[in-house]
Structure 1
């Protein structure tokens, strides 16, 4: 089965048109691809934390997660956001099952080395049988990136990192859906989309500060995925009509991230 992991974050979630979910359903029903959705929900989490007067802290694009913050993250991601996406797929005529990485120990994790981040985890194993079983039953998995360790402790996992780990496990293609049309640079005062960019160029853009904040874990997850059997990584604009369909058909859209030192082209 050809799996396509589609990851989108909170920055674009509320702006995705109905046609985006219709595209997801269409891809599954056509039978060539089995879509798997991994979602974030940063803005919704931040809003809830502010309402509860809990401090917001980030380090290199990753949210510092205290015990109190973890409770809010799990509530918002696995509850409000996850079920909202399930409803959107149902509205588009599809069948979806929403769950978090805690369910069935789908995402097994350990705490990241930087303990200053608190309860933030990195994925050590993916229970891919859960995905294949859902696919056989005709469901589209919708995954909230909360993981669990061997002691039953839950952790917040960056959505981009979780998506890359799932794609690695399934040897799938990975598509990051954002509110921008891809990786770009400024040329003669105008934004120029790079249709293809190498892992080396991504690393240089991070070092130069061109890629920063929340884009850092996304870019690093793309490179990590390519280094571990992910067939292809792309960054697309989810607000652009039929962008996912065009990508699945091999059309030139968004930015494709490739290994090695190939020269990016417009």
Structure 2
């Protein structure tokens, strides 16, 4: 199982430790790969160093100076998460070429689009009983670092391994009538997602989440789940299809 973890769900150290415990528990049932971002932590570190923070096309504009801070923040965050999980390795996509990417748009700076995944390396680590914890930094053709969207990175890993992916976020799924929790869809097909976007009941911040799920399917993942990482006990239930919204082909 691939678990994408990041964003607001990582703000609280106590919550991070609780989720780490859930990841360790899930690993007792199935091998797990964690892919993480860390927007709030990156934002804090950039501000502390006086590095400007700018977004365009929903992505962080990443100057070379900002890239250094992003990589440092994600590396530190990943090491802590791996330590909390136990028997895990905190890595970034630059280690052993786990994530390879090309520049997405020159106007965005050091922002990349994932073009390859070191699936054999991941299988070797999983075979040794280790949990890879991968920060969403990729290696560019020039050997430098590229900042990649953690959702799409997780989808690429899921596709390369042919496994499902759970996106832990700050909402508990896709609502057919937002914000009515009773309207949460337990499962949606690709066609239903596209129809929901066209009809407007999937909108706002949910659109990039479902797009990431569809991207994972397009790369070969059999399913993707959007679930809340803000409450305890969700991960195991999401893996069993009992929480969140499962998106299928």
Q: TM-score if structure 1 supplies the norm length?
A: 0.84
1:183-262 equivalences under 5 Å are: 183-186=174-177, 190-191=180-181, 192-206=183-197, 208=200, 210-213=202-205, 215-250=206-241, 252-259=242-249
| 1:257–1:156 Cα change, 3 Å | same
The 8 Å contact of residues 174 and 202 in structure 2, kept in 1 or not, is answered as no
Q: Say whether residues 1:170 and 2:157 are aligned partners.
A: no
2:117 to 96, 118, 126: 126
In the TM superposition, what whole-angstrom CA distance separates every residue of 1:56-95 from its partner, at most 9, and x where no partner exists?
21123211111111111011011x21112012113xxxx1
Residue 6 of structure 1: aligned partner:
3
Residue 264 of structure 1: aligned partner:
none
Instruction: After the TM superposition, list the runs of 4 or more consecutive aligned residues in structure 1 that deviate by more than 4 angstroms.
Output: 204-210
Q: CA deviation at 1:155?
A: 0.4
Residue 57 of structure 2: aligned partner:
60
In the comparison of the two structures, how many residue pairs are matched?
245
Q: CA deviation at 1:258?
A: 2.3
| 1:219–1:26 Cα change, 3 Å | same
C-alpha distance in structure 1 between counterparts of 2:203 and 2:145, whole Å: 30
CA-atom RMSD in angstroms: 2.1
Q: CA deviation at 1:135?
A: 1.1
Q: TM-score if structure 2 supplies the norm length?
A: 0.90
Residue 99 of structure 1: aligned partner:
91
Query: Matched residue of 1:186: which SS?
Result: coil
In the TM superposition, what whole-angstrom CA distance separates every residue of 1:13-62 from its partner, at most 9, and x where no partner exists?
134364432222122223xx111100110011111112222222112321
2:126 to 103, 125, 135: 135
Runs of 5+ consecutive residues of structure 2 not aligned to the other structure: none
Runs of 5+ consecutive residues of structure 1 not aligned to the other structure: 260-266
